[in-house]
């Protein structure tokens, strides 16, 4: 996620940088289940994950502060919120992977509209919501994670 944050800092527009960061992380989580498991759900390799997090948070902090300075991100968002946002998105990815994996983009769009400071035009949602049967199937995939 360090690479995704660094690449996003190169974007000229602060909101685009933040959006691209979340999109890049979703792409990485969708394409590399092992990475997602390591970063979000498992206890293995936690020392290495902690070192990466130490490099990651300052980059995310720069993305957040830049977007706030531009007036496009809610002023009460902090970089420490972002890892938990990734956990939420990782859960959507995990639960819908075998049903309709692209639905994570829809939920990202909903989340990003909630983060906007200006409450401007709503993002067009990329694709429909899951059907009720698909929601039930996704929820059945939930398992308590080991501590």
- Examine residue 66 and state whether it is found in any structural domain, yes or no: yes
Tokens of 123: 């993002």
37-41, 70-74, 96-100 — most confident range: 70-74
Entry field: residues in the chain: 147
The answer to whether position 147 is within a domain reads no
What is the per-residue pLDDT across 84-129, written as a single tens digit (0 to 9) for each? 898 889 889 888 888 888 899 999 999 999 999 987 777 788 888 8
Domain of residue 78: give its range. Answer: 2-140
- Average pLDDT over all residues of the chain: 83
**Does residue 92 sit within a domain?**
yes
Which position has the token pair 């989580």?
29
Q: Is 9 domain-assigned?
A: yes
For residue 46, give the 3-state DSSP assignment.
helix
CA distances from 44 to 34, 48, 126 (A): 11, 9, 34
Is 60:109 a contact under the CB 8 Å cutoff?
A: no
- The region, left, alpha or beta by phi > 0 then psi within -120 to 50, assigned to residue 71 is left
111 within some domain: yes
Q: What is the mean pLDDT of residues 33-59?
A: 70
Distance CA 90, CA 100 (A): 14
Which residue is listed with tokens 């035009």? 121
Region 1-17: what's the mean pLDDT? 89
Per-residue pLDDT for 147 more than 50? no
Query: Residue 36's domain is classified under what CATH number?
Result: 1.10.357
Question: Average pLDDT, stretch 10-37?
Answer: 86
Number of domains in the chain: 1
Contact 22, 108 (CB under 8 A): yes
In a domain, 145, yes or no: no
pLDDT at 35 over 90: no
**Is 107 part of any domain?**
yes
Beta-bridge partner residues of 116: 73
Closest CA to 48 of 37, 39, 57, 59: 39
* Domain annotation covers residue 52: yes
């Amino acid at each position: 996620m360090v690479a995704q944050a660094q690449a996003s800092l190169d974007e000229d527009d602060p909101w685009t940088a933040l959006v691209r960061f979340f999109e890049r992380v979703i792409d990485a989580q969708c394409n590399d289940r092992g990475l997602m498991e390591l970063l979000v759900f498992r206890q293995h390799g936690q020392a290495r994950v902690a070192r990466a997090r130490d490099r990651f948070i300052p980059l995310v902090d720069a993305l957040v502060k830049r977007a706030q300075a531009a007036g496009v991100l809610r002023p009460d968002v902090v970089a420490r919120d972002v890892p938990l946002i990734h956990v939420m998105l990782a859960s959507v990815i995990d639960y819908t992977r075998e049903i309709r994996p692209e639905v994570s983009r829809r939920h990202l769009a909903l989340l990003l509209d909630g983060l906007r400071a200006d409450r401007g035009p709503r993002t067009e949602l990329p694709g429909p919501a899951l059907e009720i049967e698909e929601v039930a199937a996704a929820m059945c995939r939930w398992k308590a994670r080991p501590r």
